[in-house]
Structure 1
Amino acid sequence: MEKVKCECGHVNPYGTVICESCGKPLQDEGKSLLNMRYEGAARRSQTYKRSVVDHIWNFFSSVKVGIWIIVLLLVASGFGTIFPQVEFIPPGENPAVFYENEYGTIGQLYYLLGFHNLYGSWWYMLLIAALGVSLVICSLDRVVPLYRALKKQRVTRHEGFLKRQRVFGTSRGLDHEGEIEKATKVLNEKKYNIYEENGNIVAEKGRFSRWGPYVNHIGLIIFLFGAMLRFFPTMYVDENIWVRDGEQVPVKGTDGQYYLYNENFEIELYDEDDELYQEALMREGSSVVETYRTSAVLLERSDDGIVGSEADYEKVKSHDIEVNDPLTHDGYSIYQVDYKLNELSEFSFRLQSVADDNGDVPDTEITVDLYDPEMSYDLGGGYVVEIEEYFPDYVFDEHNQEPTTATRIPDNPLIIFNVQTPSIPDGEKSVVGVQTNEPILGENEYRLELSGVEMNDVTALTVRLDRTLPLLIVGGFIFMVGLIQGSYWSHRRIWLQQKGEELWVAGHTNKNWQSLMKDFEAISSNTNIAMPIDQVEEDELEQERQYQRRRDEDQGSDVDA
């Protein structure tokens, strides 16, 4: 793979089709138009094909491969929208149970295939990384040789280069210097940059538009990099937390650094006597919430460094969180998104004798915390109440034929108690729940009577942190710059070159040939230089003429017959 030396003396990299300096075609000596897409420069993907690195480079430099990666990403993203992603299912739900219960067998398959957490899966991230690699390699494979070719081009070009441009023409019997001077004036008025060499000129403008696609790629790479950073907890957080009145919980995504204490949650309703809201109230048929508010205190944990010691919490900030009025600190924003009133919190029980003879039964009330129940309660006198099973949100699993819990939230609590007494040391089992209080085996001598219920109001908050947003904005902005740069401008070049008694004119643009022809019309109308022809249109017209002649000949043959 030796370098190729042109007759002009310039040494070109192996695989170069058009000399980077003079423009002489180095491989194809035919009469077809030159392929000027990359100025005939040598691309690595079309040159080196031996090592493993070469094969990897060639694979990712293919535009078709990049398009297929995009198609796979679009299809995969579409699958991710069929059912809600795991972060959008009701809080506390077990995904393994939720998708099957809500969507049946298809939902279970959706979960088993990992589509419930699609955008965080390793293979989806691998596709994004592959797209980024494809963009980088595609860009480098094309932009480096293109830059070399455009930078090293001379004004005086080889005859084969000029003749095989799409726009080409010649003029004879002219004052070459005078006509070139007139043409230069016209081109200057059209904002062309003029370069002169040995009485020949090349006029160029809009070269920067050639870099538009590569600016696009830079913007996309930055954007994809920002999107991938969203999977790092320190860069992006979007988590929901439920906090009950008087409860302190860690703020998700802060790695235990911050805690939130809910002093009080309250809602305000629209005044039913206010005529301004009568129509809305009648339409709803019930009271309408005007606003809901969480009086929150943000705490920061400060450990003393001793393992096992209790942590100290320092108050950072207090704020009444309302919709569109979040608590913000250190880049984190905590928004009010939902609430739940009168959630079951505690059950209180008293042990009673079924025969209504309480005798020695201790008159002691036990309180079961439905969020974190104790498993044993000693009433004294040999009376012990144990919790054998607890289902915060009881459902019966038809598939496995056994009771289970749908969530960890006590929406439908059911408790299996074992009551041990002096007369029954092995205990009696019973099931106690909402509107349920039944013995499990036969008749029991003792039962637990519900004596009280405590409820809590619960507020739902969303914790958000997005340090990737600046990267996404910068990437999107650069992408739009590249899109405009490559869409609204074109790279035009016009060569005027003296060849003996003839003045040769040639032109090339990467798009918008009509505008280039208008520039030639302006030159032709202000000088004596003949209007060049569009060789593509000329070939098409010649093909049409040949077709018409053959058809006429065939029709004449039919008439003679």
Structure 2
Amino acid sequence: MKEYHEGIVEDIWRFFSSMKLGLILLGLVALVAGIGTVFPQINLDPQGAKAVSKLWQTLGFTNIYGSTLFRLLMGLLCINLIVCSIQRFQGIYNQTFALKPPESITSVLNKVQAKLKGESGTLRSSIETLLQQSGFKVISREIDNGWSFIAIKRRLGNWGSLISHISFVVLVIGAILGTTLGFKGFMMTGAGTTVPLSSINLSKGTVKQDFDVHIYSAEDRFLENGDRDNWYTDMAIIQNGQEVIRQTISVNHPLTYQGVTFYQASFANGARLTVDLKDQKIPVVLQDHGGNYFQAPGTDLYLIAAAIKSDPQEPIMLYQVYRGTGVEPVQKGQINLGQTIDVQGEYKLTLEGNVGFTGLQVKQDPGVTVIWLGCALLLLGLILSFYWRTVVVSGVFKSGQDSIGELTIGARAGKVTGGLQQEFDRLIQGIQSKREGAL
């Protein structure tokens, strides 16, 4: 039974350590991602995704990256990379920290190779001195009728490929954390309003935080030459009835609280009004072009701002009033600053001035730190792989009855041979120069 169990484990390990499996999974991920590129995704383009045929929506083509299939493929690919990395670890460690000088000429590195004749002591001293001056760590040993050595520099370059593979796993883990534990949403609200975070429009995830967002002001500022400066929102976080943080945000200058980040995304004009309903004063803010509406309590009347002139000195609002589910307005007109009008005999409406509406993208991504770590690892892996190549030099000296003999010397620099021959030639020339100087 024990042997059977060990056999199953070995079979599973062999399956996930297969390079063929990795290539198949990469191909499938690329295929699925390609479908996600062709079809609008619900979390990025909700309107576009809804316009796609119901068949493709049912098949999940508009939610590829959130589908179980895509996550399964990414999970299997991660397992494949982890198993392959574990399997390669010992070999890379030995190549970096446990190098042994060759025992015979056939074991000398042969990516590039040369032979030198000379006196044993002079050759050995010249090689060790030159390699150490060039940054190599040299290990030598005595063998029958001679000696051998192995030298290495930029040894951390051996780890570049492994670190790059690990970085991919870290990036996937970060993405999964962001999609499963975080959320992404949008809120459009006017100055002077307080909005519970849980009431925002979500495109993915669930809000677990319990605090409110108060908007003090929203501005669309312009420079003296007429060019737009930026959108600015003066906002605060309200928790348990207390203001815990207040900050003015703008594009590229967000606010973060309890892991939730508020990004300035858009701006719209609005109007600030007062509704007088049965001697009750109700403050109302309406967004330009019918972005929101006001329903007077106890009535089936819906008020919208059809258009707003945002001049602070002379604001004007074109309004429309609808009753119930009617598609035609039962009342419409223009209201000026300070003017009061009657709405269907139900309430009075006064225009108090302009107000800004801010569009905020709200996001919590607990995987962002992990993703940054993955990016850093990927960058490190690429630097080590391409700009910090490990160079290994080894050689075997065999002498006859006296100390004169022949040194077989070779080198390698990973899988890339570019520049190795030139570096090796310079090394041989340096050895010959030192040997001649010693003579």
TM-score normalised to structure 2 length: 0.66
SS at match of 2:78: helix
State the alpha-carbon separation in 1 of the partners of residues 295 and 238 from structure 2. Answer: 23
For the 8 Å contact 2:140–2:148, the answer to whether it is kept is: yes
SS at match of 1:204: strand
For the 8 Å contact 2:322–2:329, the answer to whether it is kept is: no
Cα 1:178–1:326 change in 2 (3 A) is closer
For the 8 Å contact 1:344–1:370, the answer to whether it is kept is: no
For the 8 Å contact 1:192–1:203, the answer to whether it is kept is: no
Query: CA offset at residue 167 of structure 1?
Result: 4.7
Query: Amino acid of the residue matched to residue 215 of structure 1?
Result: I
Query: CA offset at residue 204 of structure 1?
Result: 0.8
SS at match of 2:184: strand
Query: CA offset at residue 61 of structure 1?
Result: 2.2
Query: CA offset at residue 157 of structure 1?
Result: 0.8
Out of 365, 370, 377, the position equivalent to 1:471 is: 370
Alignment of 1:140-539 (within 5 A): 140-148=86-94, 153-162=99-108, 165-167=110-112, 174-198=118-142, 199-206=146-153, 207-233=155-181, 236-244=182-190, 247-252=193-198, 254-263=207-216, 265=218, 267=220, 276-277=225-226, 292-301=231-240, 313-341=241-269, 432-435=326-329, 458-488=357-387, 489-498=389-398, 500=400, 502-509=405-412, 510=414, 511-512=416-417, 513-515=420-422, 517-519=424-426, 521-522=428-429, 525-526=432-433
State the alpha-carbon separation in 2 of the partners of residues 314 and 185 from structure 1. Answer: 72
Query: CA offset at residue 55 of structure 1?
Result: 3.2
Cα 1:453–1:434 change in 2 (3 A) is farther
For the 8 Å contact 1:194–1:201, the answer to whether it is kept is: no
State the alpha-carbon separation in 2 of the partners of residues 269 and 188 from structure 1. Answer: 64
Measured against aligned partners, the alpha-carbon deviations of 1:252-284 in whole angstroms (never above 9, x if no partner) come to 5652411123455555677xxx7x33xx7xxxx
State the alpha-carbon separation in 2 of the partners of residues 432 and 485 from structure 1. Answer: 68
For the 8 Å contact 2:92–2:158, the answer to whether it is kept is: no
Query: CA offset at residue 522 of structure 1?
Result: 1.7
State the alpha-carbon separation in 2 of the partners of residues 336 and 191 from structure 1. Answer: 52
Query: Amino acid of the residue matched to residue 214 of structure 2?
Result: Y
State the alpha-carbon separation in 2 of the partners of residues 61 and 197 from structure 1. Answer: 36
For the 8 Å contact 1:344–1:453, the answer to whether it is kept is: no
SS at match of 1:131: helix
Query: CA offset at residue 482 of structure 1?
Result: 2.2
State the alpha-carbon separation in 1 of the partners of residues 250 and 99 from structure 2. Answer: 65
Query: CA offset at residue 316 of structure 1?
Result: 2.3
- The alignment of Structure 1 onto Structure 2 pairs a total of residues equal to 369
For the 8 Å contact 2:102–2:394, the answer to whether it is kept is: no
State the alpha-carbon separation in 1 of the partners of residues 207 and 295 from structure 2. Answer: 24
Identify, as 1 or 2, the structure richer in strand.
2
Gap runs ≥5 in structure 2:
1-5, 199-205, 278-291, 305-318, 332-342
Cα 1:110–1:345 change in 2 (3 A) is farther
Query: CA offset at residue 212 of structure 1?
Result: 1.9
State the alpha-carbon separation in 1 of the partners of residues 106 and 384 from structure 2. Answer: 31
Q: What's the RMSD between the two structures over aligned residues?
A: 4.5
Bigger shift: 204-213 or 456-465? 456-465
Query: Amino acid of the residue matched to residue 495 of structure 1?
Result: G
Cα 1:209–1:99 change in 2 (3 A) is closer
For the 8 Å contact 2:233–2:250, the answer to whether it is kept is: yes
Cα 1:333–1:156 change in 2 (3 A) is closer
Alignment of 1:59 onto 2:7: no
Query: CA offset at residue 130 of structure 1?
Result: 2.3
Higher relative contact order (CA 8 A, sep 6+): 2
State the alpha-carbon separation in 1 of the partners of residues 274 and 20 from structure 2. Answer: 62
Gap runs ≥5 in structure 1:
1-49, 90-94, 281-288, 302-312, 350-368, 378-384, 393-410, 417-430, 438-447, 530-561
TM-score normalised to structure 1 length: 0.54
State the alpha-carbon separation in 1 of the partners of residues 272 and 191 from structure 2. Answer: 12
Aligned residue for 2:315?
Answer: none
Identity %: 20
Query: CA offset at residue 476 of structure 1?
Result: 2.0
Aligned residue for 1:115?
Answer: 61
Query: CA offset at residue 171 of structure 1?
Result: 6.3
Aligned residue for 2:314?
Answer: none
For the 8 Å contact 1:347–1:453, the answer to whether it is kept is: yes
Cα 1:290–1:480 change in 2 (3 A) is closer
Query: CA offset at residue 202 of structure 1?
Result: 0.8
Out of 4, 9, 32, the position equivalent to 1:76 is: 32
State the alpha-carbon separation in 2 of the partners of residues 343 and 490 from structure 1. Answer: 67
Query: Amino acid of the residue matched to residue 187 of structure 1?
Result: L
Query: Amino acid of the residue matched to residue 202 of structure 1?
Result: F
Query: CA offset at residue 229 of structure 1?
Result: 1.7
Query: CA offset at residue 244 of structure 1?
Result: 4.3
